[in-house]
Every structure is written in C-alpha cells, then in structure tokens.
C-alpha cells in the first residue's frame, strides 16, 4: 500500500512501560495443545548437551544484547533462537561465538539444552541458533550469554507432531509497523495475552523512507534523513526499530513466523521492477542488500542469502490442526498493471482492470515454482485448517459501483486476477486436492477486514471456497483524515458483498483455533500516538470447520 507523506515532530518514549513489557514477555506458562512440523534449510548453530560449553573469553565493553532476543519458525523438535550483537558494545573484530541455553522454566534453572552459535561479522554479528532435540508442543525459555553479559530471557515453544490433533492453538497476526506513524501499543496488548502460542508477521517490518515523510505532531521521527539503499542504511533502520521496548517484548513473548512485503526493500516493487523504474541490475543489487539485512534481523529457519534471489516461502504445521503456508508475493511477481489512475487522489494504484493483461499466464503473483509448491503442499496437507500467511488482499474490491471490468487496487490479488482464479480453483474448499478448510491471513492494507473467497470475487453465483481475515497495521496509517477516501471505502463496501467487515483502527487479530471452529478477534488501538493506550476488542468473527462461510459473533 502506498502512502502520502505528511510532517510531524518527535515525542519521547515512556520508559516506564519498558520493564513491565519485557517482564511480562518472560512469564512462565504451560502449553495449550499438541504438535507437528515442516522444515526448510537450517542455519548454523548446533545444539550440545547441557551444561553450557565455554567459548574462549571475550572482552566486551558494554551490554551486547540491547537489541533483544527472539525465536521463530518452530518445528516439533526445534526452534530458531535469534539475537544480534550491538555494534556499539565494543565488540572484538571478526566472528564471535555466543552461548545459548534453553530451559523449561523462566528462571533458567532447569536447562535442557545448550550450545554455541557464531555471530558472523559479515552478517552484522547476527545469531540464528537452531535449538534441536526438544519435546513437541512444549513451552521453553532461553537466553544468550557473551563475556560477562546475559540477554533478556525469552519464551518460546515447539509445535505439535504430525498425527496428533491439538485441542487448541492461539496465535495473533498483523503487519506494517511504520515508526513514524504511531507507537506500538498493540504489541503491549499482545504481550498481555498470557496463553498465546505464536505470532505471524506479514511484512513491512521497517519502512525504507527518509525521515519526516509522515508528519504528525504527536508521533516520532527516525531521524534518519536517507531512504535505505545500502547495507549500513538498512541495518541502521532495523536497529532503530529494534530499540522499541514493546517490539522487543513481543519478540521475547512467543515464536514468530515472518514473511516480508515491499517496504523491506522499496515501496510497491515487483520482482526486478522498482517503483521508480530504476535500472533492473542496479535494483537487484539493492534487493540483495535488503534481503541480507532482513535475514540478519529476523528469527527465520533459512540459510543466509547470497544474492538477490532468496526463496523464503516455507510451511509449518501444528500437528494435524493447522498448517501455515508462508508466501512471498513480492520477489516473483510480474510488474503491476500500469495505466491511467481512476482517482487522482489515490494515484496509479487504483485502475480499471485490464482483463487482457490480468488473465494472461505471464501476470503472476507467486511465480511458477512457488505456485506449484503451494498447490502441492495443500494437496498433501493432513491439517484441519490450511492457512495462507501472505501479504495483499485476495477477497477482491471493486471501487466503483457497477464497474465492469472492475476498478481495483492493482498491487493486490485484484491485479493478478487470472492467477487468483486458477489458485482458488486448485486449493479452495471443494476442489480436487483442495483444502478441507481454507483461511487466508492478510496484512499490507493498514485496515481490518473480513471477507469470503470466490475464484472470481465479483461473481456472487460462484461458491465460497474459503475465508480471509485481514489484520490492521501495528502503527501504519490508512490515509488518516482523508474524507474522500473514507467515502470511497463506504461505497466500495456497499457494492462488494464478499466483504463483511472493514475498520481502519490500528491493531492486530487474535485467532483461537480448534478442530471444530476458528474464532478471529479484532483488537483495536484507541490512540495510536500513545504507547500506553488501551487496546479493545472491536469485532469477533467465527468459521465452523466444514463450512466455508464466516459469521460475526461479537
């Protein structure tokens, strides 16, 4: 989603929330279900038996763990543990061995596994340790140590094993955390959810723009007067975001499953096509640098990238209850449709759909290999719920009553209508090899929405083959204060019966999943410019297993 810049001034952090948020993130609790996995390539960092190994002594000038800890991509017997050493901590030159411990208690007295992982200087001294040999469906706690320093204690969990059907799984999802458009009160509320099992982040972890583009007198500035293009610039931007105590607490609370969207590289890029039609070779070099730094700052079960091509699509199963198919809708897509804009206020993002282009085989969102991987993965899945964790909305939106062809946002699946139709015909409920229950999780659009999925969203005669839940943003704006856009949204809802709900408050979506039912609770931030703001339930929706329809329950 593209935004229009507006000015604002800095407001200070409220330091009192820091200690409480981090402490809450590390509270002990028990697991709530049973487990199973799916793997991708594993990074370096080998487990050894407790007690902890003792690396060579290292002299460190200050706490190297100020960027926090995190975990992610859980399997039934392992989880990735992450940290990144602070470059201002007086680190020695070269690679550094860091010790990690994992325990069954938050006090770290019952250590069950330990190891060392190398913080590679070439990768910004980031650490991706694969803690293996763990029990399925179990909550653990972990920490890192280097020299005389220990990190915050984080909490994580393994997924359940294949062949089991857990009674319940509770996770949350969201996306889009623009530093300059609001604070992270949503994360504070997330940390307060004591029985949370995981968090799914659907992209736009950072925004690459130069400081001051989204002015609001109540907000904060990055103070970085550059658009990110180099490794050091991307590192500086991620490191700033990682100083936020509420974001750190959310990472320390539960394992994350992460994918990216456009702003980790550049707004609205598509494959090798940049927003501003830069030279393709030069843009791919920038993309390679951005992908490297994304890896450095995320707890992913992947080897580090070695260039601009970096497959990150992967799958994770929690027993036979649900399977996450994590997609990349940026790296392989054809360029967006480019023609005259529908409304000057919205720019070229909204256009009359070019059906000759849209239904051609070349107009792809996923690319052929990822598309076949997804179709095969759904066909082979034994899960009650197959879940697409992806970026841009799939349920469709016609912006003009009676528009034929429809007037659509071309950076979404509406700009790739032919592939959407083929995909839902292949994996939708009722298809040969389709999902028993298909749920799509979406971010990007800085707003909360609920809709049903049809192969052609604008043909109500077609059967519903799945349900889509779109979470709002953690902090990014949805054209705040623009009455014209608000009117357009109202009009679009009135002529899009596949859309059941729409709200522009910041927040996240909390999902309670059982073999019989999926309940999605939308949590909205009352004041996005106050990190102590209340966060309240604004709507609740549910899906019954075996019935591809959604109903409002609160």
SS3 category, 342: coil
Asked whether residue 218 is assigned to any structural domain, the reply reads yes
Distance CA 106, CA 84 (A): 21
pTM given for the model? 0.90
Asked whether residue 290 is assigned to any structural domain, the reply reads yes
Asked whether residue 80 is assigned to any structural domain, the reply reads no
**Residue 166 and residue 513 in contact, taking contact as beta carbons nearer than 8 Å:** no
Q: Which pLDDT score is estimated for 34? A: 34
Distance CA 77, CA 332 (A): 32
Which residues share a beta bridge with 510? 172, 521
Measure Cα distances from 142 to 303, 365, 468, 520 in Å: 22, 38, 34, 30
pLDDT digit string (tens) for the chain, length 554 residues: 433 332 222 222 222 232 333 333 333 333 333 333 333 344 433 333 344 556 667 788 899 999 999 999 999 999 999 999 999 999 999 999 999 999 999 999 999 999 999 999 999 999 999 999 999 999 999 999 999 999 999 999 999 999 999 999 999 999 999 999 999 999 999 999 989 999 999 999 999 999 987 657 788 999 999 999 999 999 999 999 999 999 999 999 999 999 999 999 999 999 999 999 999 999 999 999 999 999 999 999 999 999 999 999 999 999 999 999 999 999 999 999 988 777 666 678 889 999 999 999 999 999 999 999 999 999 999 999 999 999 999 999 988 777 789 989 999 999 999 999 999 999 999 999 999 999 999 999 999 999 999 999 999 999 999 999 999 999 999 876 666 666 766 777 788 999 999 999 999 999 999 999 999 999 999 999 999 999 999 999 999 999 999 999 99
Asked whether residue 202 is assigned to any structural domain, the reply reads yes
Distance CA 288, CA 122 (A): 14
Q: What is the CATH number of the domain that holds 439?
A: 3.60.21.70
Q: Which pLDDT score is estimated for 495? A: 83
Asked whether residue 479 is assigned to any structural domain, the reply reads yes
Strand ranges (DSSP E) for 346-498? 350-352, 385-389, 407-409, 438-442, 448-453, 466-470
- Phi then psi for residue 12, to 5 deg, are -75, 160
Of the CA atoms within 13 Å of residue 49, those in its CB half-sphere come to: 0
Q: Which pLDDT score is estimated for 347? A: 75
Structurally, the chain folds into a number of domains equal to 1
Asked whether residue 148 is assigned to any structural domain, the reply reads no
The token pair that represents 417 in the structure block: 């209508």
Q: Which pLDDT score is estimated for 296? A: 98
* Domain span including residue 251: 6-36+159-552
Helix (H) or strand (E) holding 25: helix 16-25
One-letter-per-residue 3-state SS of 212-223: CCEECCCCCCCC
Asked whether residue 365 is assigned to any structural domain, the reply reads yes
Q: Which pLDDT score is estimated for 13? A: 27
**Residue 200 and residue 261 in contact, taking contact as beta carbons nearer than 8 Å:** no
Asked whether residue 302 is assigned to any structural domain, the reply reads yes
């Amino acid at each position: 989603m593209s935004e229009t810049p507006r000015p604002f001034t800095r407001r200070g952090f409220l330091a009192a929330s820091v200690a409480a948020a981090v402490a809450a993130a590390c509270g002990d609790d028990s697991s709530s279900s049973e487990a199973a996995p799916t793997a991708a390539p594993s990074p370096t960092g080998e487990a050894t038996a407790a007690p902890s190994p003792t690396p060579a002594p290292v002299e460190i000038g200050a706490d190297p763990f100020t960027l926090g800890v995190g975990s992610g991509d859980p399997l039934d017997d392992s989880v990735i543990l992450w940290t990144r050493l602070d470059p201002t901590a007086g680190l020695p030159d070269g690679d550094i061995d860091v010790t990690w411990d994992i325990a069954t208690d938050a006090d770290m007295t019952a250590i069950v596994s330990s190891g060392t992982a190398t913080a590679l200087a070439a990768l910004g001294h980031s650490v991706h340790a694969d803690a293996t040999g763990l029990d399925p469906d179990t909550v653990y706690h972990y920490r890192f140590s280097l020299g005389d320093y220990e990190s915050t204690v984080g909490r994580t969990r393994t997924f359940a094993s294949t062949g089991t059907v857990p009674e319940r799984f509770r996770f949350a999802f969201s996306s889009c955390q623009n530093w300059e458009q609001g604070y992270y009160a949503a994360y504070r509320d997330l940390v307060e959810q004591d029985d949370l099992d995981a968090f799914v982040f659907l992209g736009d972890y950072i925004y690459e723009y130069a400081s001051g583009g989204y002015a609001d007198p109540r907000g904060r500035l990055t103070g970085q007067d550059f658009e990110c293009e180099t490794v050091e610039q991307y590192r500086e931007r991620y490191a700033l975001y990682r100083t936020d105590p509420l974001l750190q607490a959310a990472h320390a609370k539960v394992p994350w499953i992460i994918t990216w969207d456009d702003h980790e590289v550049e707004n609205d890029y598509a494959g090798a096509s940049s927003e501003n039609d830069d030279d393709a070779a030069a843009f791919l070099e920038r993309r390679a640098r951005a992908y490297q730094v994304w890896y450095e700052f995320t707890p992913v079960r992947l080897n580090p990238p070695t260039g601009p091509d970096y497959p990150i699509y992967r799958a994770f199963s929690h027993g036979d209850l649900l399977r996450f198919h994590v997609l990349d809708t940026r790296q392989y897509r054809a360029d967006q449709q480019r023609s005259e804009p529908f409304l000057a206020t919205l720019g070229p993002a909204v256009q009359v759909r070019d059906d000759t282009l849209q239904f051609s085989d070349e107009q792809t969102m996923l690319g052929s290999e990822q598309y076949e991987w997804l179709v095969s993965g759904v066909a082979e899945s034994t899960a009650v719920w197959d879940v697409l964790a992806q970026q841009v909305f799939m349920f469709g939106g016609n912006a003009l009553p009676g528009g034929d062809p429809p007037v659509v946002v071309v950076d979404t699946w509406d700009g790739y209508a032919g592939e959407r139709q083929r995909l839902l015909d292949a994996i939708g409920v009722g298809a040969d090899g389709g999902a028993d229950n298909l749920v799509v999780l979406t971010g990007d659009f800085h707003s909360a929405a609920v809709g049903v999925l049809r192969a052609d969203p604008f043909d109500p005669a077609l059967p519903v083959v799945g349900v889509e839940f779109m979470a709002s943003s953690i902090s990014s704006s949805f054209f705040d204060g623009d009455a014209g856009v608000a009117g357009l949204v109202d009009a679009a809802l009135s002529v899009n019966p596949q859309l059941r709900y729409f709200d522009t408050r910041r927040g996240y979506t909390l999902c309670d999943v059982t073999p019989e039912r999926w309940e999605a609770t939308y949590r909205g931030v009352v004041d996005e410019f106050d990190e102590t703001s209340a966060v309240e339930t604004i709507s609740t929706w549910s899906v019954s297993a075996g019935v591809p329809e959604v109903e409002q329950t609160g």
